[in-house]
Amino acid sequence: MRARKKASARTTETIPERPAGIRLQKFLAAGGIASRRESERLIESGRVEVNGVTASVLGTRVDPRSDIVRVDGRRVRAEERRITYLLNKPRGFITSAKDPQGRPTVLELLHGVRERVFPVGRLDWNSEGLLILTNDGALAHHLTHPANHVPKVYRVKVKGIVPAGALQSIRRGLFIDGRRSLPAQVSKVSSQSNTWLEIVLHEGKKNQIRRMFERLGHPVLKLRRIAIGILADRVLKPGEFRRLSDDEVKRLRETR
């Protein structure tokens, strides 16, 4: 692909789509940068260059053999060795590869990991529990695509005693941002002055559990993810991680 000269470091130009090659977001996912969805956001935000020219069109195609692709100035190599980790995220870490505010990210917990991996899905700053990190874009796409409904299990402590009617509302689905959430499984684990619940979600709206209970008048006090699809690990301590076996990855790919 022939490069265009940029007027300045801030110049944003588009790369015309070529008939051959692969889509840029697929190349980024294969290179272990991010999931396809997150790669699309990187392109749209002007952080991706092809042969020195900022690419902002999602239809852009590249030739992995000849084109030079960079994200934030760092070159992206063609497909790397697939690797996937399971981390028990503690509170006080951002589920992101980079934070503009300089807060600690989950990648800082992966001591000794040399591969470039990215988190799949999110756990907010105050939440903890299981989180998958990988450079396998296809796996990330499967786990996060709404059509696959991969179940995620949470143990949640909310303020006050939650009445049966409120739990039934969650089972039916609540309106968030004008759209009804998918029905969720919820069961009461214990209750004294506050209530512990176990919740199974089949989608990943941002801060979904916190927003649901805020709306019901029972703010979340603690939130911990304890399972993702077939994955659960009671031995992994907060801040610890382990590499997933080939069998675990295979079963994750088959989870629906």
What is the topology classification, in CATH, of domain 151-228?
Answer: Alpha-Beta Plaits (3.30.70)
Q: Where in the chain is the domain with CATH 3.10.290.10?
A: 1-80
Pairing status of strand 128-134 against strand 220-228: parallel
Flag whether the pTM goes above 0.75: no
Indicate the pLDDT class of residue 6, thresholds 50, 70 and 90.
Answer: very low
13: pLDDT strictly greater than 60:
no
Provide the pLDDT confidence category of residue 231 given band limits of 50, 70 and 90.
Answer: very high
Is position 233 annotated as part of the catalytic site? no
Provide the pLDDT confidence category of residue 2 given band limits of 50, 70 and 90: very low
List the beta strands (DSSP E) in the chain. Answer: 22-23, 48-50, 53-54, 61-62, 69-71, 74-75, 84-89, 118-120, 128-134, 152-158, 175-176, 179-180, 185-191, 195-201, 220-228, 241-243
Q: Which of 72, 99, 124, 136 is catalytic?
A: 124
CATH superfamily of 1-80: RNA-binding S4 domain (3.10.290.10)
Q: Where does CATH 3.30.70.1560 sit in the chain? A: 151-228
CATH number at 85-145+238-254: 3.30.70.580
pLDDT in tens, 78-122: 666 789 999 999 999 999 888 888 899 999 999 999 888 889 988
Query: What is the model's pLDDT at position 227?
Result: 97
The pLDDT of residue 124: 92
Residue ranges matching CATH 3.30.70.580 in the chain: 85-145+238-254
How confident is the model over 66-80, as pLDDT tens digits? 889 998 888 887 666
For the stretch 160-216, pLDDT in tens is: 999 999 999 999 999 888 889 889 999 999 988 999 999 999 987 888 999 999 999
Over residues 148-166, the mean pLDDT reads: 94
* Four-residue CA torsion sign, 203, 205, 207, 213: negative
pLDDT tens digits along 30-89 = 777 777 888 898 899 999 999 999 998 888 899 888 889 998 888 887 666 789 999 999
